[in-house]
Amino acid sequence: MSFEGPLQRLVDELARLPGVGRKSAQRIAFHLLSVDETDARRLAQAIIDLRDRVGYCRRCFNVTSSDECAICRDPRRDPAVVCVVERPQDVVVMERTHEFHGRYHVLGGALSPISGIGPNQLRIPELRRRVAEEDIEELIVATNPTVEGDATAMYISREFKPLGVRVTRLASGLPVGGDLDYADEITLGRALAGRVEI
């Protein structure tokens, strides 16, 4: 069955969101109907602000509400080291470690001919420009350990090493504090391949 007018419109819109099914969409819509009006308006305003004010950093393509993102503007960050990631969400994950003090470059995805994504659909031309204009010494490639992420990492290595830039890949391996039992076989295989002398 369907509801009348605006309620059904909202259910339809919510159901188009990733991870939201028909039932959840209904639950959310009825929830918004029952909460304080200010709460509902705050949500609506947040969505409007997102579209009005959030854009991409002109240097690294991280999400930002100004011209350049906070990380690129921070003078304490080392401009010589750039961590290359697939999505803006990955920046947040890296930042949470508080261990990385360079800048980022967000590719906007990974190489995937199946989906029609080649280097020019990613922000690789922009990375080339950065390497030419900035004093970048090292690219740390932190793409996902998937077929596409690995291919992208290799592409970046082949493309930028000849330019005299050091290209490194995040080591993938065992979770710290975990038992060997818990590591799946692929992870263990990679950890073995990337083993280091102690």
Partner 1 sequence: MRIGWVSLQDFRSYREVHWRPDPSLSILVGPNAAGKTNLLEGVAYLALLRSFRRAPDGVLVHRDAATGIVRGEVRRTDRSALIEIEIPRQGRKQVLLNGKRPARHSELSGALRVVTFLPDDLDLIKRGPGERRSYLDEVAYQVWPGAAAEQAQFERTLRQRNAFLKRGADDPVTWAVWDERLADSGARLVARRHQVVTALSGFLTDAYRDIAGKGRVEFVYRAMWTDRPEAGVEDLRADLHRALEASRRTDAERRITTVGPHRDDPNLLVDGRDARYEASQGEQRSLVLALRLAAHRVIREITGEEPVLLLDDVFSELDVDRAVALQAALPPSQTVVTTTALEHVPLEGAIFEVRGGEVVPR
Select from 7-15, 42-50, 61-69, 114-122 the region that touches partner 1 (CB under 8 A).
Answer: 114-122
Regarding 92 and contact with partner 1 (CB under 8 A), the answer is no
- DSSP category for residue 117: B
Select from 7-15, 25-33, 136-144, 145-153 the region that touches partner 1 (CB under 8 A).
Answer: 145-153
Regarding 185 and contact with partner 1 (CB under 8 A), the answer is yes
Give the one residue of 12, 126, 137, 150 binding partner 1; rule: CB under 8 A.
Answer: 150
Question: In 10 A of CB 156, how many CB atoms?
Answer: 24
* Residues numbered 36-75 forming contacts with partner 1, rule: CB under 8 A: none
Nearest approach, Cβ of residue 168 and partner 1 (Å): 17
Give the one residue of 32, 40, 63, 151 binding partner 1; rule: CB under 8 A.
Answer: 151
SS3 112: strand
**Residue type for position 148:** E
Give the one residue of 18, 75, 116, 177 binding partner 1; rule: CB under 8 A.
Answer: 116
Q: Which of 147, 113, 141 has the alpha carbon at shortest distance from 127? A: 141
Q: What is the distance between the alpha carbons of residues 46 and 65, in angstroms, rounded to a whole number?
A: 13
Regarding 19 and contact with partner 1 (CB under 8 A), the answer is no
Select from 2-10, 22-30, 61-69, 144-152 the region that touches partner 1 (CB under 8 A).
Answer: 144-152
Nearest approach, Cβ of residue 120 and partner 1 (Å): 8
Q: What is the 3-state secondary structure (H, E, C) of 43-105?
A: HHHHHHHHHHHCEECCCCCCEECCCCCHHHHCCCCEEEEEEEECCHHHHHHHHHCCCCCEEEE
**CB-CB contact of 130 with 158 (8 Å):** no
Give the one residue of 36, 37, 99, 184 binding partner 1; rule: CB under 8 A.
Answer: 184
Q: What is the distance between the alpha carbons of residues 82 and 138, in angstroms, rounded to a whole number?
A: 6
Q: Which of 59, 101, 84, 106 has the alpha carbon at shortest distance from 156? A: 84
Nearest approach, Cβ of residue 8 and partner 1 (Å): 22
Query: Closer CB to partner 1, residue 5 or residue 18?
Result: 18
Binding site for partner 1 (CB under 8 A): 111-114, 116, 118-119, 147-148, 150-151, 154-155, 158-159, 184-186, 189
